[in-house]
Chain A
Amino acid sequence: MHLVYPAVLSALLFSVGLYGVLARRNAILVLMSLEVMLNAVNLNLVAFDVWLRDRLHAGQALTLFVIVVAAAEIGIGLAIVLLVYRNRGTSDVDRLTDLADSDDPSVVAAPEEKAEAAA
Chain B
Amino acid sequence: MTVTTLAVLVPLLPFLGAAAALFLGKRAPGFAQPVAVLPTAAAFVLAAIVAARQGSGPATDAAHRLTPTGSVPIDLALHLDGFAVLIAVLVGLVATCVQLYSTGYLRDDPRYVSYSALVSLFTAAMFLVVYSGDLMVLLVGWEVMGICSYFLVGHYWETEAARSASIKAFLVTKLGDVPFLIGLFALATDAGTFRINGILTAATHGELHHPTLIALLLLAGVAGKSAQFPLHTWLPDAMAGPTPVSALIHAATMVAAGIYFVARLLPVFETSSAAMAVLAAMAAITMIGSGLAALAQDDIKRVLAYSTIGQLGYMAGALAVGDRSAAVFHLLSHGAFKALLFLGAGVVIHSAGTNSLAAMSRMGDLGKRIPDAMWTMGIALAALAALPPFSGFFSKESVLRAAEHAAGGHTAHIPAAVGWTVLVAGLVTAVLTAGYATRLFLLAFRGQGATVADHGREPVVMNAVLWVLAIPTIGFGMISLLPRVFDLPQWFDGEALSPTLTTSVLGIGLALVGILAMYGAWQATATRRRVPIGAVVAAPPQDLEPALVEETAIDTHAKVYGDIAAAEDPGDPGRLLLGPLHRHAAHGFHLDALYAALFVRPVLAAAGLVRFLDREVIETYVSGTGAAPRLLGAAVRRAQTGNVQTYLSVLLAGSVVLAVLVAVGA
Which A residues fall within an 8 A CB radius of B? Answer: 18, 21-23, 93-94, 96-101
**Are A22's CB and B652's CB within 8 A?**
yes
Tell me, yes or no, whether B640 is within 8 Å of chain A by CB.
Answer: yes
Closest Cβ of chain A to B225, distance in Å, is 66
Q: Told that A23-B645, A100-B641 touch, could you supply 17 new A-B pairs with CB distance under 8 A?
A: A18-B652, A21-B645, A21-B648, A22-B645, A22-B652, A93-B645, A96-B642, A96-B644, A97-B641, A97-B642, A97-B643, A98-B642, A99-B640, A99-B642, A100-B642, A101-B640, A101-B642
**Measured CA separation A99–B641 after assembly (Å):** 8
Nearest chain-B residue to A94 (Cβ)? B643
**Prevailing SS type, chain B contact patch:** helix
Closest Cβ of chain B to A91, distance in Å, is 13
> Which of A23, A98, A99, A101 has the largest count of B CB atoms less than 10 A from its CB?
A101
**Measured CA separation A99–B648 after assembly (Å):** 14
**Are B644's CB and A93's CB within 8 A?**
yes
22 pairs of residues in contact across A and B, judged by CB atoms under 8 Å: A18-B652, A21-B645, A21-B648, A22-B645, A22-B648, A22-B649, A22-B652, A23-B645, A93-B644, A93-B645, A94-B643, A94-B645, A96-B644, A97-B641, A97-B642, A98-B642, A99-B640, A99-B642, A100-B640, A100-B641, A100-B642, A101-B642
Q: For A93, what are the chain B residues with a Cβ–Cβ distance below 8 Å? A: 643-645
**Measured CA separation A90–B641 after assembly (Å):** 18
**Measured CA separation A22–B640 after assembly (Å):** 17
Q: For A100, what are the chain B residues with a Cβ–Cβ distance below 8 Å? A: 640-643
Number of residues of chain B lying within 8 A (CB) of chain A: 10
**Measured CA separation A101–B642 after assembly (Å):** 7
Tell me, yes or no, whether B637 is within 8 Å of chain A by CB.
Answer: yes
The 7 closest A-B pairs by CB, nearest first: A100-B642, A97-B642, A99-B642, A101-B640, A94-B643, A101-B637, A22-B649
Nearest chain-A residue to B633 (Cβ)? A101
**Measured CA separation A96–B649 after assembly (Å):** 16
**Measured CA separation A22–B637 after assembly (Å):** 21
User: Which B residues, 650 to 666, have Cβ-Cβ distances below 8 Å to chain A?
Assistant: 652
Number of A-B contacts (CB under 8 A): 28
Nearest chain-A residue to B639 (Cβ)? A101
**Measured CA separation A97–B642 after assembly (Å):** 4
**Measured CA separation A93–B640 after assembly (Å):** 15
Closest Cβ of chain A to B594, distance in Å, is 61
Nearest chain-B residue to A98 (Cβ)? B642
Closest Cβ of chain B to A40, distance in Å, is 15
Q: For B642, what are the chain A residues with a Cβ–Cβ distance below 8 Å? A: 96-101
Nearest chain-B residue to A25 (Cβ)? B645
Closest Cβ of chain B to A95, distance in Å, is 9
**Measured CA separation A18–B644 after assembly (Å):** 14
Closest Cβ of chain B to A34, distance in Å, is 11
**Measured CA separation A99–B649 after assembly (Å):** 17
**Measured CA separation A43–B331 after assembly (Å):** 118
**Measured CA separation A101–B637 after assembly (Å):** 7
Nearest chain-A residue to B634 (Cβ)? A101
**Measured CA separation A97–B641 after assembly (Å):** 7
**Measured CA separation A98–B637 after assembly (Å):** 14
**Measured CA separation A101–B640 after assembly (Å):** 6
Nearest chain-A residue to B643 (Cβ)? A94
**Measured CA separation A27–B459 after assembly (Å):** 100
**Measured CA separation A96–B643 after assembly (Å):** 7
Closest Cβ of chain B to A61, distance in Å, is 28
Q: For B652, what are the chain A residues with a Cβ–Cβ distance below 8 Å? A: 18, 22
Closest Cβ of chain B to A60, distance in Å, is 27
Q: For B641, what are the chain A residues with a Cβ–Cβ distance below 8 Å? A: 97, 100
Closest Cβ of chain B to A76, distance in Å, is 17
Q: For B645, what are the chain A residues with a Cβ–Cβ distance below 8 Å? A: 21-23, 93-94
**Measured CA separation A18–B637 after assembly (Å):** 26
Q: For A94, what are the chain B residues with a Cβ–Cβ distance below 8 Å? A: 643, 645
**Measured CA separation A24–B652 after assembly (Å):** 16
User: Which B residues, 619 to 640, have Cβ-Cβ distances below 8 Å to chain A?
Assistant: 637, 640
Q: For B648, what are the chain A residues with a Cβ–Cβ distance below 8 Å? A: 21-22
Nearest chain-A residue to B649 (Cβ)? A22
Q: For B649, what are the chain A residues with a Cβ–Cβ distance below 8 Å? A: 22
**Measured CA separation A21–B640 after assembly (Å):** 19
Closest Cβ of chain B to A12, distance in Å, is 15
**Measured CA separation A23–B649 after assembly (Å):** 9
**Measured CA separation A62–B154 after assembly (Å):** 95
Closest Cβ of chain A to B630, distance in Å, is 14
Q: For A22, what are the chain B residues with a Cβ–Cβ distance below 8 Å? A: 645, 648-649, 652
> Which of B641, B644, B648 has the largest count of A CB atoms less than 10 A from its CB?
B644
User: Which B residues, 211 to 233, have Cβ-Cβ distances below 8 Å to chain A?
Assistant: none
**Measured CA separation A85–B642 after assembly (Å):** 18
Q: For B637, what are the chain A residues with a Cβ–Cβ distance below 8 Å? A: 101
Closest Cβ of chain B to A63, distance in Å, is 24
Q: For A18, what are the chain B residues with a Cβ–Cβ distance below 8 Å? A: 652
**Measured CA separation A98–B642 after assembly (Å):** 6
**Measured CA separation A22–B650 after assembly (Å):** 10
Q: For A101, what are the chain B residues with a Cβ–Cβ distance below 8 Å? A: 637, 640, 642
**Measured CA separation A94–B644 after assembly (Å):** 7
Nearest chain-B residue to A103 (Cβ)? B637
Q: For B644, what are the chain A residues with a Cβ–Cβ distance below 8 Å? A: 93, 96
User: Which B residues, 584 to 643, have Cβ-Cβ distances below 8 Å to chain A?
Assistant: 637, 640-643
Nearest chain-A residue to B638 (Cβ)? A101
Closest Cβ of chain B to A14, distance in Å, is 11
**Measured CA separation A100–B644 after assembly (Å):** 10
Closest Cβ of chain A to B285, distance in Å, is 73
**Measured CA separation A75–B644 after assembly (Å):** 21
**Measured CA separation A92–B637 after assembly (Å):** 22
